[in-house]
Structures are given as structure tokens and as C-alpha cells.
Amino acid sequence: MPVRFRPAAVVAVCLLAAAPAAQAVELTSHRAAYRLVLDPARPNQDVESANGAMLYEVVDRCGAWTVQQRFTLQVVGRSGQAYEMSSDYVTWEAREGTRLRFRLRQATDGTVTKTIAGEATLDGPGGTGSARLTAPEQREIALPRGTLFPMIHTLRLLEAARRGDRVLAAPVFDGTSEDGAQDTNTVIAGRLPADPAVGFAALRDVASWRVRIAFFAPGGTGQPEYEVGIRYFENGVADELKMDFIEFAVAGNLAEFERLPGGCN
């Protein structure tokens, strides 16, 4: 999935040429629904409860991936104040990793708070490039060398996991910020073998890895702006999520899963 998970987007993250053809990662076209709750394992001093849902859909269009993600979260503070966060995020990403079209709409209590739209291009996979925004205003953002788009980042991550690598660091641009590519650092835990106890039959014969991705402001150092923990299966499906928004954290579990037709056949 693109699946980095942030209020703006759930995005997954890697590059097809990185592994030998026999080991190439194949991402499964699918639709997944996640239940979201306040993470009980993380202190949330100012938040009493959080409940919501995320719907994620990725389809392999042969020459590109299309992604749709909808996210809704109702949050109640310890003071009793309640609000609802929501986002609607859509992308089209070329498989060679050089073009990305994106549109994001975020709202709080039904009032739109952010709209970002545009297109980004790179001079080659992992090369330099630029993003041309059409909303909230027309402007151009330079993208540094090594920038990855979200689906390519997911592929790179899974390929690194297959090789036994433990760390993947790269700038990622997904169209959810006007500030350009974010620096990311991913820590990959050991391989988990296929588990017949997994709740969905389509995932029971598939190995997986737990990863934690930290997102930093462009050129930033110190504490990350956002972190996400994910269990990724080697087909790109995620069944467990932990989204740390710094102020509070949310846990997500796969509630519904459906394979979708995709690919070149």
C-alpha cells in the first residue's frame, strides 16, 4: 500500500530495479479498511479517546499505480472538547518512478483546512526534479537528488527487507505538504514467516516485516514530525498500523480486505 500513515495520507514506500528480476516485489492491487483507536500503549496526556476509520485502495494500472485514501478520526480531549479530522487523498504514480500527480483535501469538523494539488517529475528514478502546485496556489518546489515517490518508496522498503537490510533513508515526496520532500528514516525488524493464524486467507502464506518510519522536515534534524509503525506483508499489504502524531498516537487494524484486478493482463 502506499502506506505511510499520517493525517494527510497513508502512504507506502521502494524501486523495482533494486533487486534481481527473480526477486522483484509485486504489489497486490487491493482495497483495505482499517479501524482506528487511541493507542493504549502510548501515553496520551491530553486525549481521552480517538476512534475512526481509514479506507485505502491501490490498483496496478500496468504503467502506473493509482491510490485513493480516505481517513476520518474523531478525537475527544480530556477537557471534553471533541473534533473530527478527515482527509481525502488521491494519486497517480508512474511505475518508473519519475511522475506523480496528487490531490489532498483535509478538513476539521467539516471545514476544509488544507487543499494541495499538482504534479511532480524527476529527471530519472532517484534523481532531482520539481513539483508544480496548482493549489493552494501556483508555485514550483525543487526536489533534491534521491527523492522517491510514495509507491516507489514502498517497493524500495520491501526490497531492502528481503535483502536483510535494517535501515532505509531517503527523501520522499507524496504531495501532502507544500514544503517539498520530507527526509525519512526507516528501521526494518526481522522477517516474520507466513502465519496461518492471520485473519485474512490471502495473507496467510505471505511473509512480513515490522517497520517504523520517521518523517522529518526537509533538511531537518532532531525529533521527527511524525512516525508510523507498520506490519508490511511482502505483497505490499499492511494489517497493523501505529500512527504517532506526537501529541497522541493511534493504532489501526485491518478490518476488511479485498483483492482487486490489476496489472497488464
Q: In the prediction, which pLDDT does 265 show?
A: 62
What do you get for the CA distance between the two ends of the chain, in Å? 21
Do residues 31 and 57 make contact, with C-beta atoms less than 8 angstroms apart?
yes
Give the pLDDT score at 1.
37
pLDDT at residue 263 greater than cutoff 80? no
pLDDT at 9: 41
254 CB neighbour count, 10 Å cutoff: 20
Residues 6 or more apart whose Cβ sits within 8 Å of residue 22: none
- Report the DSSP beta bridge partners of residue 216: 183
Cell of 118: 499538482
Which pLDDT does position 223 carry in this prediction? 85
- Which pLDDT score is estimated for 247? 82
Percentage of residues in the chain with pLDDT exceeding 90?
74
Distance CA 18, CA 159 (A): 7
Q: In the chain, count of helices (H) and strands (E)? A: 1, 14
- Identity of residue 125: P
> Residue 160: enclosing H or E segment and its boundaries?
helix 150-163
Tell me which of 19 and 226 has the higher pLDDT.
226
Higher confidence at residue 190 or residue 232?
232
Average pLDDT of 68-77? 95
Q: Which 3 state secondary structure label does DSSP give 184?
A: strand
User: What amino acid occupies position 229?
Assistant: G
Q: What pLDDT is stored for residue 5 in this prediction?
A: 40
Q: What is the mean pLDDT of the chain?
A: 88
Over pLDDT 70: what percentage of the chain? 90
